[in-house]
Amino acid sequence: DYTPTPADKFTFGLWTVGNTGRDPFGEPTRPAMKAPYLVQKLAELGAWGVNLHDNDLVPISASASERDSIVAEFKQALSDHGLVVPMATTNLFNDPAFKDGAFTSADARVRAYALQKTMRSMDLGAELGAATYVFWGGREGTEVDAGGKLLDCLGWFRDSLNFLAEYSESQGYGYRFALEPKPNEPRADIFLPTVGSALGFIATLDKPEQFGVNPEFAHETMAGLNFSHAVAQAIDAGKLFHIDLNDQKMGRFDQDLRFGAENPKGAFFLVQLLESSGYAGPRHFDAHALRTEDEAGVWAFARGCMRTYLIFKEKAQQFAQDSEIQAALAAYRVEDAELAQLTGTFSPQNAEALKARTFDRAALGARGPGLEQLDQLTMELLLGIR
Ligand code: GCO
Ligand code: MN
Ligand code: MN
Ligand code: MN
């Protein structure tokens, strides 16, 4: 009946179900809920875990003793309700100190403060048992490039990530780090705007094996890209360390819609890809209820994200068992044992034989692959009539 259990590995951020509906044009539309209460409610709904930024839990100006008592109360709630904290991250965007970047600020004092704040937040995450540490560089970017720091800031960013990876090792935290790309918002142009750019950057780090990506449905969509393609590239590179699920209209401001709410077909192909890929990490929803909603709407939102995921997971199983669909899929692919031999491994003989071979170009161009029919069958399956 599509009721989630912890085995489904669904997680939410404290900042997601805790979102109060504030936007750049308007005040909050619902009261803030305390972290222990959010933990209780998420557990009741069948979630597996909860993720957080340092300041989702501990206010930035809290004293050491205030911090300790807030953390103790939170840990009690986690153990009372059986929720885990698989991922932690740093808020490096809210405070005005970070208005022109954190690790990429032109002010060395801001960069050092960002390192300090992140180490403390990594300590908190480790205390809560987090295995994945996310870097979303929301303020790492520019509105104007007159500052001339484009090459410098990539170096600063790299130095910071190298430093923090060493810190994690020196503390024995064993974190895996996940960079979360986004093209814009809050900055006009955020550095490392897409999954592809993050993957390229990771290869330049001192310990690339400790770094992967945390792709988000909305972020690639904002960039006009196909999210499943980005996720497939991350999987292929062995770099899918975490994933942020939500939905988004293309070409709009960051909407953080309920998973599957806007582009159900895209959400289906994503679930199918994830479930068939062996990805064993959290299915994290980085989204929030519409600003129109009250608390009941927040829980309807959270339940809806998980339910839609599970429905698509079932649809993916149905897709795999549908004989007409499977026949269309089989017909789509053409294999040729002799050509596999020739093209599989390079040898001068294979190259010569391949160069000498005659291909029936007209026949290749004339073949209909059956994609219209296959896609229609998929649609009918999704629409519930198969
Ligand atoms: C956004 C981002 C954030 C990050 C979060 C965790 O668009 O605001 O997606 O929600 O995911 O900061 O790193
Ligand atoms: Mn986002
Ligand atoms: Mn967002
Ligand atoms: Mn996100």
Q: Report the pLDDT value the prediction gives residue 132, as an integer from 0 to 100.
A: 99
Instruction: Say whether 81 is catalytic.
Output: no
> Which ligand has an atom closest to residue 255 CA?
3
Q: Report the pLDDT value the prediction gives residue 338, as an integer from 0 to 100.
A: 95
Report, as an integer, the average pLDDT of 112-122.
Answer: 98
Share of the chain above pLDDT 90, in %: 100
* Banded pLDDT at 160 (limits 50, 70, 90): very high
* Banded pLDDT at 340 (limits 50, 70, 90): very high
**Angle at the Cα of 113 from the Cα atoms of 16 and 61, rounded to 5 degrees:** 55
Q: Calculate the CA 54 to chain-centre distance.
A: 19
Contact between 211 and 205 under an 8 Å Cβ cutoff? The reply is yes
Instruction: Say whether 336 is catalytic.
Output: no
Contact between 278 and 316 under an 8 Å Cβ cutoff? The reply is no
Look-up of token digits 């998980």: 306
What are the helix (H) ranges across the chain? 14-17, 35-45, 54-57, 64-81, 108-127, 150-171, 195-202, 217-222, 227-236, 264-277, 295-321, 323-332, 337-344, 348-356, 361-366, 371-382
Structure ipTM: 0.97
Look-up of token digits 């669909």: 325
* Banded pLDDT at 4 (limits 50, 70, 90): very high
B/e letters for 192-231, b = 16+ CB within 10 Å, e = fewer, are: bbbbbbbbebbeebeeeebbbbbbbbbbbbbbebebbebb
Q: Is the CB of 186 under 6 A from ligand 1?
A: no
Q: Is the CB of 254 under 6 A from ligand 1?
A: yes
| 211, containing H or E segment | strand 211-213
Q: pLDDT by residue (tens digit) across 64-109?
A: 999 999 999 999 999 999 999 999 999 999 999 999 999 999 999 9
pTM of the model: 0.97
Residues forming a β-bridge with 212: 178
Q: Report the pLDDT value the prediction gives residue 195, as an integer from 0 to 100.
A: 98
* Banded pLDDT at 233 (limits 50, 70, 90): very high
Q: Whose CA is nearest to atom 8 of ligand 1?
A: 138
Q: Is the CB of 216 under 6 A from ligand 1?
A: yes
Q: Is the CB of 180 under 6 A from ligand 1?
A: yes
To test the pocket of ligand 1, the residue of 56, 216, 259 to mutate (highest count of ligand atoms within 8 Å of its CB) is 216
